[in-house]
Structure 1
């Protein structure tokens, strides 16, 4: 029996590919994964808890900002009794904030831990569905190095999502808490230009929004390339790790054939691509630093410069100036969250793209190429193995048997022959049901379970009892249970 390639066959080659999804699709994919996680309730209550802590912290920050005026006014009046009293007030406020900060840190770590658990368990569950891992491995670039996407990328996405999410929530709550305070403080600001008085309602609020808005726009303009550069770096890192694992798994063959020099060249090439990707990221980060660092230095004096005209005109006291500056810094700190985290946002966006696209590919693997012809499977009550007009689609064309009808009866021994590259491997994968694309029919013996031996033997990591019982699930409790099994 011989198999023959046919590049002109009607069955089209299988070329599985998944296009990059949009940000909305990626976010919704991760949301669905978390919604079905067994730890979703824990994540929900922890999120509610950290929100409550952040709100309490914001109230403490407002109280601390109000403390600025009587404290600095006491200093200006050289009033020792009032000064000591304000120190006691500060100790009470700072002590409460300290407890809240520690509680927030603990909740942050727990959310990060459970988010990592939920994401990784979901990806493993989707990956280990019947035949999915095999089909994904033949699905192109999306199926390369899935271990990194499930282990390293999922962990990194959990850390970034937690830190950025908590930071954004905290900034929003602080903004809501202090924008009213700053508006009230700057409502009485009057600018005297010549003989004309000009009052701008909420002057410092508008100044903070304009100042942070310009800086955010510049930061995004300069930092946006980091999304693509970070994604490329993670791909290169995965290729380097894959090469190292491959060398480690074949050290005996490399040593026997003295192939160390060739293996070293391959690893050096992969390392070169990683270093090149890192170099491009560092260049982009330096360009971004010119914007963020310049903005940071200007911020040191910006609130005082904004409020100084009113102070020098005598409309507010020194304590009032410091209170206005403190409120401006809180509002501005909330508004500049995007600027401070532009690098992390780009990294999060790249990691989300890798994890979510991988999750989407796992979901769609079973449905890919439904328009392609598929091999039909049936059972033969006669106990024979039959092939009826079998054609197996492959990237190179189509593989088919020399005879349109083949029947292998129980006890018969058959050798499959064919030219190199004719598709013998795909033929056996088709019989096993791993490669369903093609046409024709495969009839398997009814009531029988075929045994297929892979090219590379596989034994699960564990005890001998677990290996003997693979893949039937948990190992039996004792040896008697094993001997009693059929």
Structure 2
């Protein structure tokens, strides 16, 4: 399970959160799509202004309509019914297009952000380095579930940023539009003062406005006090859900191994533990949401009658008519809705804050990976594979190999062996240029292919899996079949267009032969093979290695192999042996001995 520290449960500072949100929002509106993005944003803003303007017109309609009812003025009554129809129609059109363009803005923003972060995640091997960083004590490590952050968190971020920012804007515009109306309609009220304040009365002008401010201020403070744990709980919920989903994906990927080992009960216990964590946190979230719902429901229901109670004395005294009372009630409702926006949206704000925090962690890790300067200098050469003063370490910081010099010339066949954990695969990764825990200078020909211990095959057509990462269209069917035949997979030659999950469909030996078929197809001059035939029988291994050696020699290249089998020595002219050289605090350190094969 991945581990990521959740945000502090203390009340979050507003400024850093707004700064982070601004940092994620600004690049889109400065990108190549900036004019379309700005145009959509402007349209949404104008439509919000239009809907608020229509609400002001409907508020004025309340006064005229209810005064006509009180006066039993039938012509004005029917006239206002017709006017309301037009007002409602215009409001509906504005509301529909406000919703539609808001969704389009959110959708286009998500597309851009997803493309932006996928490009950065896959560039410069950042996806690989971030996985390695999970196992270090680096403060920039532990970026849990980057797939979930790109797929789900970006969707939540764009959705909540657009909806909540427009909600804030709409609340402010509504407040500005209606507070003046409410102030004018409120008039003044005389409030008796207690004796210790000198007695008498104090006139409060615009008292309905002050009542709305006081009502919403108290409500917002209580809502924040009740709901502040939701930031931490929402952050943890997204992380725990992703961990649960990730483990189920692993069970699917390693289904055969788990089935052969009879590990169903172990996996069930692991999944139960993760699901129990998910449900435990979710129940905590629900309990907090229940408390907040109790308060917000009471708050919203009380707001229905609160303005009537406050304005009733002036109505019963004859200072205002029924139409004005209803207009006051409508205006108070709009002002109260604007001022209590925090109460109504606290749960959404908590999710927004948690999602932003997770994206900040992802962005920090990506930025760190892009700024990290490798101590390994890699160059392309045509003369062979060379390394000078090469040091290879582990993610934890310990050093396996130090000061290694090596040279592979055209025509060489080299077998690298050594005890498990001595750094054979890490040395290959350093030569390939992807290992971030290496220092020195490496030169590798451009025409080089690496065969990893666990080759990757995309789901889909067999021809795509064989040609990966090149497009299958680059190769003729005849070339594809010849490669399969050379790798002892003639039975697959007729299934080039079959779609399947080849990593699970094929046996271990077939997967290794399919990886070798790629080499046969692309005909590189230089090959580095890491346990490439460990799942094959000795006869198949001998046949394949004979063909591999012949091909690289014909191309005036070389092959370097990692293997534990002594039978492979017959196919290699040199041997590199990793042997323990000294014991240091982080574990044994190895040296590289070079010798000719017997």
Same fold (TM over 0.5): yes
- CA spacing shift, 1:475–1:149, aligned 2, 3 Å: farther
> What is the correspondence of 1:82-481 to structure 2 with a 5 Å cutoff?
82-140=76-134, 142-186=142-186, 188-191=187-190, 198-368=202-372, 370=373, 374-377=375-378, 382-388=383-389, 390-395=391-396, 397-400=398-401, 404-439=404-439, 441-445=440-444, 447-461=445-459, 463=461, 466-467=464-465, 470-472=468-470, 475-476=473-474
Kept in 2, the 8 Å contact 1:26–1:356? The answer is: yes
- CA spacing shift, 1:72–1:404, aligned 2, 3 Å: closer
Instruction: Point out 4+ residue stretches in structure 1 off by more than 6 angstroms.
Output: 17-21, 194-197, 477-486
d(CA) in 1 for partners of 2:181, 2:479? 73
SS at match of 1:200: strand
d(CA) in 1 for partners of 2:173, 2:435? 54
- CA spacing shift, 1:19–1:428, aligned 2, 3 Å: farther
Q: Counterpart of 1:10?
A: none
Give the C-alpha shift of residue 479 in structure 1: 7.1
SS at match of 2:389: strand
- CA spacing shift, 1:211–1:474, aligned 2, 3 Å: farther
Give the C-alpha shift of residue 328 in structure 1: 0.7
Give the C-alpha shift of residue 212 in structure 1: 0.9
d(CA) in 1 for partners of 2:262, 2:466? 37
Kept in 2, the 8 Å contact 1:33–1:119? The answer is: no
- Rg (Cα) greater in structure: 2
Kept in 2, the 8 Å contact 1:380–1:443? The answer is: no
Kept in 2, the 8 Å contact 1:142–1:358? The answer is: no
Question: Structure 1 stretch 251-260 or stretch 19-28: which is displaced more?
Answer: 19-28
d(CA) in 2 for partners of 1:153, 1:41? 25
SS at match of 1:143: coil
- CA spacing shift, 1:262–1:405, aligned 2, 3 Å: same
Calculate the TM-score normalised by the size of structure 2. 0.71
d(CA) in 1 for partners of 2:395, 2:133? 12
Decide which structure has greater strand share: 2
Kept in 2, the 8 Å contact 1:191–1:310? The answer is: no
Calculate the TM-score normalised by the size of structure 1. 0.86
Question: Structure 1 stretch 408-417 or stretch 168-177: which is displaced more?
Answer: 408-417
d(CA) in 2 for partners of 1:396, 1:271? 34
d(CA) in 2 for partners of 1:266, 1:419? 32
d(CA) in 1 for partners of 2:368, 2:472? 30
SS at match of 2:99: helix
Kept in 2, the 8 Å contact 1:171–1:337? The answer is: yes
Cα root mean square deviation, aligned: 3.1
d(CA) in 2 for partners of 1:477, 1:405? 38
Kept in 2, the 8 Å contact 1:390–1:442? The answer is: no
- CA spacing shift, 1:374–1:278, aligned 2, 3 Å: same
Kept in 2, the 8 Å contact 1:388–1:406? The answer is: no
| Runs (5+) with no aligned partner, structure 1 | 1-16
